[in-house]
Amino acid sequence: MKRTFIAFLIAIAAISVSAQTKKEVSDTDKNLISAALKGWHIRLSAGYNIGGTAPLPLPREIRGIESYNPGLNLAIEGTVEKKFGKGNWGLRWGVRLDTKGMTTKAETKNYHMEAWDTEGSGQIIGAFTGKVKTSVKNTYVTVPVLAVYNINKRWNVSAGAYASYLLDGEFTGSAYDGYIRDQNPTGEKAEVTRAEYDFSNDMRKFNWGLQAGGEYKAYKHLAVFANLQWAMNGIFPSDYGSVTFELYPIYGTLGFTYLF
């Protein structure tokens, strides 16, 4: 998947250089293209996602976050935008390929845990007290639909909704340096040196949420942007028993856009 993202980035860079250096396109050709588009504007964007897949609010079982690593989360997007008449409003939609991931370490108490003991004692289920490391690495194809307000010739803001389909998902982790009580916080106590879990195959395929952001047109064909994507449903089904609280992907994106 990383090779795919790199290929996309190289392609965008090549398009940008080509568009800026080619001088043979005549004014007549440009007028014909503009007439064919009839106000539609094509855009290619690349960015970096940073955020987390987190419960809201933070459950009492998680007593503290010891570390957080966002990882390398790239976003590649192609969009079209239509401005309504001579006003400031427009509509933008497109397709985005992006990854949303992170690695965290947390201190927990009575945290519901279903895992496999690496020392060979088999599956453990119960209330775990100790340290937990979780890694999330999800790749989505996303369709955003946004209303756009042009403040002036350089600045615009946008807001709307998006729908995502999970192409490839990873949700893995480990529990260590603690103990677990069988089934519930009052059950029989057992020490846990290290146990592993993998819920990658249990994640929802569809995710949806809200998106809002802003963009600054630095040059004729180049803009920089920032946005926030806030999921409205969790990555696991609501009745999923192995994870007892909803985990929402909440990510911000920083990047640039080439404007055709």
Q: What's the pLDDT at 16?
A: 47
pLDDT digits (tens, 9 = 90+) for 78-115: 999 998 888 899 999 999 999 999 999 999 999 999 99
pLDDT digits (tens, 9 = 90+) for 196-219: 999 999 999 999 999 999 999 999
DSSP state at residue 201: G
User: What residue segments make up the domains of the chain, in order of their start?
Assistant: 2-259
Taken in order 157, 163, 169, 174, the sign of the CA dihedral is: positive
Mean per-residue pLDDT, 175-181: 94
Least confident span in 9-13, 90-94, 247-251: 9-13
Nearest to residue 211, comparing CAs of 256, 249, 154, 155? 249
pLDDT band, residue 257 (cuts 50/70/90): very high
In this predicted structure, the answer to whether residue 57 has a pLDDT above a threshold of 70 is yes
pLDDT digits (tens, 9 = 90+) for 14-41: 444 444 444 444 454 555 455 445 778 8
Model confidence, pTM = 0.83
Mean per-residue pLDDT, 132-148: 98
H or E segment and range at residue 29: helix 27-37
Q: What's the pLDDT at 85?
A: 81
The CATH architecture to which 2-259 belongs is Beta Barrel (2.40)
In this predicted structure, the answer to whether residue 158 has a pLDDT above a threshold of 60 is yes
Nearest to residue 101, comparing CAs of 137, 133, 132? 137
CA distances to 58, 69, 158, 164, 238 from 251, rounded to whole Å, are 17, 13, 16, 13, 21
